[in-house]
Amino acid sequence: MRLRVLGAAAGGGFPQWNCNCPNCDGLRRGSIRARARTQSSIAVSGDDENWVLFNASPDVLQQIRSFPALQPARALRDTAIAAIVLIDAQIDHTTGLYMLREHRRPWPVWCTPGVREDLSVGNPLFGVLGHYCGIAWRELPLAGGFAIDGAPGVRFEALSLTSNAPPYSPHRDRPQPGDNIGVSLIDAASGQRIFYAPGLGEMEPHLWAAMEQADCVLVDGTLWTDDEMIRLGASAKTSRAMGHLPQSGPGGMLEWLARLPATTRKVLIHINNTNPILDEDSAQRAELAARGIEVAFDGMEIIL
């Protein structure tokens, strides 16, 4: 099983177009050591030929260009993307579907009924795409595993996470099962697992059990501290209020990752432009290195 990180940043990317926080300004000026990143998305394959896209970010065209395996050029119009799985209904995870509207048949899109509702009513993306290639909705089960047609070699298990729905959702600030999910990606031959959850607001027993079973966890790295955005004057909300468990502090992601076996590969993804871990010379980045925790970047590959 091969996983490719197409985009490792949170919404807005890094640098964010209108942001002059120390990270964004430092990257533009060349005064910090950091890599630019596009918005959060991964692709997974069990045979190196057929790929499942997780989230369709606004940067999807750039991400496809940067990874030729997704455009194998076997015909006049071609793609190696067999299906698309949506983790949630957020703009930074779904807007890229508009960019993929020239597909020659309806896209198989796997998501929960709640996400489908948000993308049919609150943000009627599915309806708009009906005038182009269309959507072939597949209900994503939250119990038991599932397989995706055209994507051999990988099995999938999804579970509901407590995070936050988009502002246009009737579930905003009132989490419902299926608003946000995490997914275990399982190599059908070896049984090895990657657990993927770019949005994770609370550690729950079923979530922790999935992380403990995984050989690699690729999890929410949005903000370093709970009040990061407030201190910078970028938002009035805490990390937890936005549906993201901060890395530091009591009960933060670092405490949880420290409890996993030493053999578990630990990677942070969906990193906000304000997060000091983007500065490769920061004290926070050094702390992650000391703890054996990696920071995802565009083009990173994980092979099991």
The tens digit of pLDDT for each residue in 36-82 reads 999 999 999 999 999 999 999 999 999 999 999 999 999 999 999 99
- What pLDDT is recorded for position 61? 98
- Phi then psi for residue 84, to 5 deg, are -130, 130
C-alpha span between 18 and 218 (Å, rounded): 28
- What pLDDT is recorded for position 296? 98
- What pLDDT is recorded for position 164? 82
Q: How many domains does the chain have?
A: 1
CA 70 to mean position of chain CA atoms? 18
pLDDT per position in the chain (304 positions), as tens?
Answer: 999 999 999 999 999 999 999 999 999 999 999 999 999 999 999 999 999 999 999 999 999 999 999 999 999 999 999 999 999 999 999 999 999 999 999 999 999 999 999 999 999 999 999 999 999 999 999 988 999 999 999 999 999 998 888 999 988 888 888 999 999 999 999 999 999 999 999 999 999 999 999 999 999 999 999 999 999 999 999 999 988 999 999 999 999 999 999 999 999 999 999 999 999 999 999 999 999 999 999 999 999 9
Q: Is 290 helix (H, G, I), strand (E, B) or coil?
A: helix
Query: pTM above 0.95?
Result: yes
**Is there a contact between 260 and 217 (Cβ–Cβ < 8 Å)?**
yes
- Domain encompassing residue 36: 2-303
The contacts of residue 20 (CB under 8 Å, 6+ apart) are none
**Is there a contact between 143 and 79 (Cβ–Cβ < 8 Å)?**
no
The contacts of residue 283 (CB under 8 Å, 6+ apart) are 276
Domain of 113, CATH number, reads: 3.60.15.10
The 8-class DSSP code of residue 141 comes to P
Q: Which of 161, 95, 61 is nearest to 81 (CA)?
A: 61
